[in-house]
Chains A and B, each alone.
Chain A
């Protein structure tokens, strides 16, 4: 009995070790994909922290907001909301409009997040632009656990953003080097991911529709109001194209 118990203990230990290796290898596999975001988020986070600092907010504000909201552009808007008159309904609706694009991310990730267990909650919570674009397009190596891979991509990104905001909030007034243009790293990341996706797919209708309709919408409606019309136009065109595209078996 004692012997059996000993064996059981050993096998449990082995399982434990392999599970840890498993998580660790997913962590190491995920990190390289997040390096461009490390640069972009730490920089943007610092910019955000400095901005909050310049508006007179204590460093704890950018830290808490970057941690809890974790949606870059909305946090800059949030800073202005905090300085205006108290209007929680307005804050809620403005957020829904600015972040409506997340609805598309969710629909795209329904299948990919399936079977990720308890991690799923955090994966959805941290579904920002950058985590979405990596997790949705990357081919995770076969021997790596997909759920943990996506978990670490999300976690690293979240971490970079909070660290950046903390540095900016605390040391905001001391940063003195010309970082103008460094935020282009995010644009560059999306261009690269767009090309990777382009080379993978057989038909480019969706990619062209996304780029073209958004650009037209931006020209017509301007920077602050173009997202929702662009989303509706994309939805409309993709719905019309459903039959021909499904025939072509789009591989994503």
Chain B
């Protein structure tokens, strides 16, 4: 380890500070006792759907289409979750079912 204990603590404190800045900033810029600009209100309404789309893609960020299993188990797993959910509409069943299918794929089929 190249860092001293104090330096490690400062580094961790910086990461905490950075994370908290990204979380608190919108609430500091638009305090609840003042009217929020309509543009920001609009964003607050439409952003959630887009951000959850972004989060799904974020989960695939380490998948390579050109090597290894080429993202096939990930796609099959996600499709299984979606089908199960449209069919039974049971959150836990869809998540557990899709995850088990994915685990079988990566452990036995695409290993």
Contacts and interface: CB of A to CB of B under 8 A. Distances in A.
Interface in B1-50: 1-4, 7-8, 10-12, 14-27, 30, 32, 36, 39-50
A207 B26 CA distance: 22
Interface residues of A, number: 100
Interface in A94-125: 94-96, 99-111, 113-115, 120, 124-125
Q: Chain B binding site: helix, strand, loop or mixed by DSSP?
A: helix
B1 A108 contact: no
Nearest to B102: A184
B78 interface: yes
Given A91-B15, A184-B98, A194-B52, A218 B8 contact: no
A64 interface: yes
Contacts of A102: 19, 22-23
A95 B18 contact: yes
Interface in B94-111: 94-95, 98-99, 102-103, 105-107
Contact of B27 (A101, A124, A195): A124
A99 B48 CA distance: 16
Nearest to B2: A85
Interface string A209-252: 11111110110000110110011001100110110011000101
A40 B4 CA distance: 33
Interface stretch (A46-54, A142-150, A174-182): A174-182
A96 B22 contact: yes
Given A56-B1, A107-B26, A218 B57 contact: yes
Interface of B: 1-4, 7-8, 10-12, 14-27, 30, 32, 36, 39-62, 73-74, 77-78, 81-82, 85-86, 91-92, 94-95, 98-99, 102-103, 105-107
